[in-house]
Copies of this chain bind each other. A is one copy, B any other.
Amino acid sequence: MTTITVPTRERSQMVEITDEVRRVVAESGITHGQVVVYVPHTTAAVTINEAYDPDVARDLLYKLTKEIPQSDGYHHAEGNSDAHLKASLFGSNQTILIDHGSLVLGRWQGIFFCEFDGPRQRNCFIAVTSFA
């Protein structure tokens, strides 16, 4: 299991981590298997979406923030319940396949660490396993 650190600079931000995941897969030497990307935070997530046009990430965060604003009758005293909800909607973990030594992503797909309550210094776990 490899830990990478992800510094974030905005309250809501999608940080592409595809290269980091690819590097861990390459270093593992595994040719057929899977990689689990896991976020150990409760106000952040990991998702797979378009990495080509940065407006896609911008639009995802714009619409999430519009529908799930920071204040909305919440009880949690830290004032970040919106971020907790976004974390569960996008999810804390993704499983991606490895085939012939390569991460199997679609042409437009990238892996994004999703910050919903930054800026913070964040961690992300990457674990590779070989298929029997």
Contact = CB atoms under 8 A, between A and B. Distances in A.
Nearest to A87: B49
A4 interface: no
A8 interface: no
> Interface on chain A toward B: helix, strand, loop, or mixed SS?
mixed
Interface of A: 1, 32-34, 36, 38-42, 47-50, 53, 55-56, 58-60, 62-64, 66-68, 72-78, 81-82, 84-85, 87-97, 99, 104-109, 123, 125, 127, 129-132
14 contacts: A38-B96, A40-B107, A42-B106, A42-B108, A42-B109, A47-B88, A47-B91, A50-B84, A56-B84, A58-B75, A59-B74, A62-B73, A62-B74, A130-B132
